[in-house]
Chain A
Amino acid sequence: DVVMTQSPLSLPVTLGQPASISCKSSQSLVHSDGKTYLNWFQQRPGQSPRRLIYKVSNRDSGVPDRFSGSASGTDFTLKISRVEAEDLGVYYCMQGTHWPYTFGQGTKLEIK
C-alpha cells in the first residue's frame, strides 16, 4: 500500500498568519491516465471530514481561496494564506491513485 506521511502532526498557529502542511507519498501518485489523485480533507472537532482540495490543487465549491494545494514530485503541500478560527481542526491528505486509497496520519491545526 502507498504510505502517506504528513508533517508536522501538530501545527500551532497564530490567527491571521499563514500555515503549511506537508504530505509525502511513498511512490508516484501520477495515474496511468496522467492525473494525480491527491486530496486534502478538513475535519473540524466533532464533524465528519470535508473535502477541500482534489487532484492536488482544485478547490471544492465553497472552500475559501485562502486554501491552496501544490505538488513537487511525491511531495504535496496544503497552504492556508491567513488562518482563521474556523480553520482549526485536523487535516488529512489522501491518495486515490493506487488501490487501496490511503490517508496520512493527520495534522492538527491549533491556536498557538
Chain B
Amino acid sequence: VQLVESGGGVVQPGGSLRLSCAASGFTFDDYPMHWVRQAPGKGLEWVSLISGDGGTTYNADSVKGRFTISRDNSKNTLYLQMNSLRTEDTALYYCAQDQSGSYLSWGQGTLVTVSS
C-alpha cells in the first residue's frame, strides 16, 4: 500500500489550494478515505471523509463550507479542495485509508502553510 500526497505550499489567508493523494497497492474504491491534519507541534485532527464510491462525504465543523473532499476512482486519487484558507489551517495534511473504525495506512503528508 502506498499513499502519496502532493499539492501543499504557502498561500495567503483567504486563498485556495487543492491537495491530491495518489493511492496504489490496494483496490482503491473498496475503501473510504480520510484527510487528517497535524498543526506544527500539535496532535492529530480528522478533517474529511469520503465513502468508497464517493457518494457520501463528511467534514469537521472547523472546515465545513470551506473544504471539499472528492475522489476519482478511475485514477486512484483522493482530493481535498481547500478554499477561504485561514492561518489556523496551517498543518501537515495526511491522507489515510479507512478500515472499519481505524486508519490502516497513512501517506507521508503534504505541508500547507497559510501566511501573509
What is A's interface to B at a CB cutoff of 8 Å? 31, 35, 37, 39, 41, 48-51, 54-55, 92, 94-97, 99-106
Contact = CB atoms under 8 A, between A and B. Distances in A.
Contacts of A100: 46, 49, 58, 60
Interface residues of B, number: 19
A41 B103 CA distance: 9
Interface of B: 34, 43-46, 49, 58, 60, 94, 99-104, 106-109
A48 B108 contact: yes
Given A31-B101, A37-B101, A39-B102, A49 B58 contact: no
Given A49-B44, A100-B46, A100-B58, A94 B107 contact: no
Contact of A39 (B45, B58, B103): B103
A54 B99 CA distance: 10
8 contacts: A37-B100, A37-B102, A39-B103, A48-B107, A97-B101, A100-B58, A104-B43, A105-B43
A39 B45 CA distance: 15
B106 A99 contact: no
A103 B58 contact: no
B109 A48 contact: yes
A96 B43 contact: no
A103 B102 contact: no
A99 B43 contact: no
Most chain-B CB neighbours within 10 Å: which of A102, A103, A105? A103
Given A96-B102, A100-B49, 10 more contacts: A39-B102, A41-B44, A48-B108, A49-B44, A54-B102, A94-B103, A97-B101, A101-B34, A101-B101, A103-B44
